[in-house]
Structure 1
Amino acid sequence: MSAEEEEGPTTTTTMDPNDAAVPTPAAAAVAAGDEKKPPAGKVPMPDDYIATILSLKREPPPKPEYLSLLSPEEREKQLEFDAVCAKEDDALEELEAKILAGLRKDGYYLVDESFLEKSAAMRAYVSEEWAKMDWAGSGIIFGDWDYDDPQCVQYL
């Protein structure tokens, strides 16, 4: 028996800012002793994943003033990149809608069991590759920016 099962069910709330701190239908069902079990092979997506996904927002396209400063080749590359970003943003909005629908209906969003394993493997891979990178001379400067003051940066 897992630690979670020993402690009993927990109350979950939705991640929608408009519904903050409102018990989900699943939490109400748990409180009533009427907990619904997810289908075999599915597990609820962890809350931190949901919070991260729901916090992501569509990036605005570059302003025409910016595009006018680019060479025709650079402008074409920028427009191609923007088209790819728009497609990914559309997919993100669809996922956010599915997650919110799941949260409102069941109090959780279901993913395949392999999702957590694949996510952990990808995090490990990225950490390994990141550690291999030689940042000296790369031109990349890590800092903590104050976006309200364009002259302010604290280098890490």
Structure 2
Amino acid sequence: MTINHHRAGQLLSAYLDGELLPREGAAVQEHLMECSSCREEYERLRITKGLLGALPVADPPAEFWTAVRAPRSEGAGPRFSRWPSVLLRRPVWAAAAALVILLLALIPFVKGTVDRLHAAEIGVDLYVREHALEMSTEPLTDRAYLGVVAGDADLVLAGEQARRGGAEK
């Protein structure tokens, strides 16, 4: 298994502590033989860990532990656990929150359905006409097509019924 320079740099600390799988450790060792910058980084890391390991362990003062244990003995839990417990103690709030989330998720679907129904009532010809008129400002617009769209909107094909109360021709 070969690893790249970046990955080897990420694994140096774990390699130094003996935390890697044998296959990964062998790959890092192989990379260290080939890469001088990683070897230098490995040596700096080894010296730093040695210096930190030689420091005496500092015991915190007694009042530190009483301050740490005080909130637990008073029954006050961490702040993040209060919110879910409120929802569990009050199922009405949980149901209301779920309903709000559901309604917010359904808004796009309902709006899309209403838009489609509205478009079906009006018909496609209005949208085609509006689009053609909007595009009439383009330099290569076919003026004859615009005249048909804008002027002959109430024409009916042979055999079809007139729409929107227009007279048959």
Give the strand-richer structure, 1 or 2.
1
Give the helix-richer structure, 1 or 2.
2
**TM-score where L is the length of structure 1:** 0.20
Structure of larger gyration radius? 2
